[in-house]
Chains A and B, each alone.
Chain A
Amino acid sequence: MSAPLLTVEDLTVSFPAGRDGNARAPVVDGISLDVSPGEVLALVGESGCGKSMTALAILRLIAKPGRIEPGSRIVFDDRDILALKVTRMRALRGAGIAMIFQEPMSSLNPVRTVGNQVTEAIRLHERVSAAAARDRATQMFKRVGIPDPAGRLAAYPHQLSGGLRQRVMIAMMLVVQPRLLIADEPTTALDVTVQAQILALLRELKDELGMAILLITHDFGVVNELADRVAVMYAGRIAERGTRSEVLGRPMHPYTQGLLRSIPRLSHRGEALAEIEGVVPSLGSWPTGCRFATRCPKVFEPCDGTVPESVVLSASHHAACHEIAQRRRTAGTPSK
Chain B
Amino acid sequence: MSATASSADGANQNADPLLKIDGLKTWYPVRGGVLQRVRRWVRAVDGVDLEICRGQTLALVGESGCGKTTVGRSVLKLEQPRQGRILFEGTDILSLSRRAMRRYRRSIQIVFQDPNASLDPRMTVRDAVAEGLNAFRIGRTAADRTRRVGELMEMVRLDPDHMWRYPHEFSGGQKQRICIARALAVEPELLICDESVSALDVSIQAQILNLLRALQTELGLTYLFITHDLGVVGNIADQVAVMYLGQIVETGTIAQIFDAPQHPYTQALLASVPRVELDLGPPAARAIGDAPDPSDPPPGCRFHPRCPKVFEPCAVSEPNMVDISGRPCRCFLYDPAHASR
Contact = CB atoms under 8 A, between A and B. Distances in A.
Interface of A: 46-47, 161-164, 191-197, 199-200, 218-222, 224-225, 244-245, 248-249, 258-260, 262-276, 279-280, 282
Interface stretch (B30-38, B90-98, B179-187, B272-280): B272-280
Instruction: Select the residue from B63, B203, B268, B271 with max chain A CB neighbours within 10 A.
Output: B203
A212 B279 CA distance: 22
A196 B274 contact: yes
A220 B278 CA distance: 11
A191 B63 contact: yes
B239 to A, nearest CB: 12
Contacts of A47: 172, 201
Interface of B: 1, 63-64, 171-174, 201-207, 209-210, 213, 228-232, 234-236, 254-255, 258, 268-279, 283, 286-291, 293
Contact of A275 (B172, B207, B283): B207
B210 A221 contact: no
Given A163-B290, A193-B286, A266-B234, A219 B274 contact: yes
A167 to B, nearest CB: 9
Contacts of A279: 171, 173-174, 204
Contact of B274 (A218, A225, A275): A225
A224 B273 CA distance: 11
A194 B290 contact: yes
24 contacts: A46-B201, A47-B201, A191-B228, A192-B228, A192-B269, A192-B273, A193-B286, A196-B274, A196-B287, A218-B202, A221-B276, A224-B274, A224-B275, A248-B276, A258-B203, A259-B203, A264-B229, A264-B231, A265-B277, A268-B235, A269-B254, A270-B1, A270-B235, A280-B171
A262 B229 CA distance: 14
Contacts of A164: 290
Contacts of A244: 278
A272 B208 CA distance: 11
Nearest to B283: A196
Contacts of B232: 264
Contacts of A265: 231, 234, 275-277
A275 B234 contact: no
Contacts of B229: 264
Contacts of A274: 206
Given A193-B291, A259-B203, A263-B202, A271 B235 contact: yes
A245 B236 CA distance: 28
Given A193-B268, A194-B290, A270-B254, A260 B209 contact: no
Contacts of A263: 202, 206, 231, 276
The 8 closest A-B pairs by CB, nearest first: A221-B274, A262-B206, A264-B231, A273-B206, A191-B63, A264-B235, A46-B201, A276-B203
A274 B255 CA distance: 22
A296 to B, nearest CB: 12
Contact of B273 (A221, A249, A276): A221
B276 A193 contact: no
Given A47-B201, A192-B230, A224 B278 contact: yes
Contacts of B283: 196, 225
A86 B331 CA distance: 59
Contacts of B231: 263-266
B218 to A, nearest CB: 14
B278 A280 contact: no
Given A193-B272, A197-B287, A224-B277, 13 more contacts: A46-B201, A47-B172, A192-B63, A193-B269, A193-B288, A195-B272, A196-B271, A218-B202, A221-B276, A248-B276, A259-B203, A269-B235, A275-B206
A264 B63 contact: no
Contacts of A271: 235
A194 to B, nearest CB: 6
B275 A266 contact: yes
Contacts of B275: 221, 224, 265-266
B194 to A, nearest CB: 16
Given A275-B210, A276-B206, A193 B258 contact: no
Contact of B206 (A200, A248, A264): A264
Nearest to B213: A272
B23 to A, nearest CB: 27
A191 B210 contact: no
Nearest to A261: B206
A225 B63 CA distance: 20
A76 B46 CA distance: 54
A259 B206 CA distance: 10
A230 B35 CA distance: 58
Contacts of B272: 192-193, 195-196
B297 to A, nearest CB: 14
A191 B269 CA distance: 9
Contacts of B173: 279
Contacts of B274: 192, 195-196, 199, 219, 221-222, 224-225
Contact of B209 (A46, A200, A218, A273): A273
Contact of A46 (B202, B207, B269): B202
B286 to A, nearest CB: 5
Nearest to B275: A221
B215 to A, nearest CB: 13
A249 B279 CA distance: 10
A269 B206 contact: no
